[in-house]
Amino acid sequence: MRFLSVLLFSFLGCNAFAQPSTNSFFQKDSLIVVTKQPNKGFYHEYIIFIPKGTPLNATSVLLVEPNNTGKITDSIEIHKEAAIALASVSSVGNNCATELKIPLLVPVFPRPASQPLLYTHALDRDVLLNQTPEYKRLDLQLLEMINDAKNRLASLEIEIAPKFFMCGFSASGTFVNRFSLMHPEKIKALAIGGFNGKLMLPLEALNGEELNYPIGIKDFSKLFDKNFDFTNFKEIPKHIYMGALDTNDAVQFDDAYSGSERKIINENLGKSVQERFVNCQNYYQKQGIVATFKTFEKVGHWTTSEMNLEVILFFLNELKK
């Protein structure tokens, strides 16, 4: 593991941790751990990873990767430890940030054992309907974290572009997919993989079945108090990938989908991960949605160096635009 300079800040203003630069690049890999700030609209901590070589006094694109602990627990410290590891060690996002010299933001969202149907790390329907401050509208909480991070990075002489990159694998890939339909105008490009083959569809109905969130957009305006922005969603560059041997299927479990949602998915999109991935590709392509799809042979529910390299090259190409 690389040495990291860990910076801990709570409710200090941005100027409290500004540091003058003596050259044009950030000097060492660093972490900023930012405490929750309900007065700013976010009720959880978040992490910023700044790789060595990040340019100063030049515009960078922020990369956002939602956290995915991989299990339920009421210990926020376990979720925080997992988020720090994701930000600083070996995630797809960390690899991209390190190679592209751009900052990475990772939220520390909980996934509580005491409320096992709240699949926060996948941004499921139970979470969207929850009205308690801690869980209410995690998508908006993440946007406030991003706004806060931009100010903090600006005080470190790292200017951040208005739109950001997003990436995720498994549950966090599902989170990114759903978030991209909610806020397409915010995203410069996204890359997701290992998401059970089930993409959220920009459709209100399929084969006579109404598609509510998180399957489709029938109740989108009711949930989000705005109309679905198909124009911006369609044009987000998307890199979407799966392992050909991936059978990790959250669709069949109650924490990810309700019984009625599961029935709609199994009967209309497919009962297996790979069948759903093909059908979702077809629906995206029929609607003219900008996306590249890739299946990696001999790969299951994990990432490889080849996958990571393709994501890095995808974002590198988008940085040049």
Q: Which helix (H) or strand (E) holds 242?
A: strand 238-243
The larger pLDDT score, comparing residue 307 to residue 16, is at: 307
Amino acid at 159: E
Res 20 pLDDT > 70 = no
Predicted confidence at residue 9, as pLDDT, reads 37
Amino acid at 311: V
The structure's pTM equals 0.93
Res 53 pLDDT > 50 = yes
Residues whose CB is less than 8 angstroms from the CB of residue 187 and which lie 6 or more positions away in sequence, other chains included? 163, 164, 165, 166, 180, 236
Overall residue count recorded for the chain in this entry? 321
Residue 316 neighbours by CB distance under 10 Å: 12
Res 12 pLDDT > 60 = no
Predicted confidence at residue 16, as pLDDT, reads 30
Q: Stretch 205-234: mean pLDDT, rounded?
A: 98
Q: Give the gyration radius of the chain's Cα atoms.
A: 19
Q: Residue 260 — very low, low, confident or very high, per pLDDT cuts 50/70/90?
A: very high
Q: Residue 159 — very low, low, confident or very high, per pLDDT cuts 50/70/90?
A: very high
Q: What is the mean pLDDT of the chain?
A: 93
d(CA 270, CA 67): 28
How many distinct structural domains can be found in the chain? Answer: 1
233 with 287: CB under 8 angstroms? Answer: no
Degrees to nearest 5, angle at CA 281 with 276 and 284:
125
The larger pLDDT score, comparing residue 100 to residue 19, is at: 100
Strand, helix or coil for residue 9 = strand
Domain holding 171, by residue range, is 5-319
d(CA 98, CA 89): 10
Question: Which domain CATH number covers 104?
Answer: 3.40.50.1820
Label residue 282 exposed, middle or buried (CB < 10 Å: 0-12, 13-18, 19+).
exposed
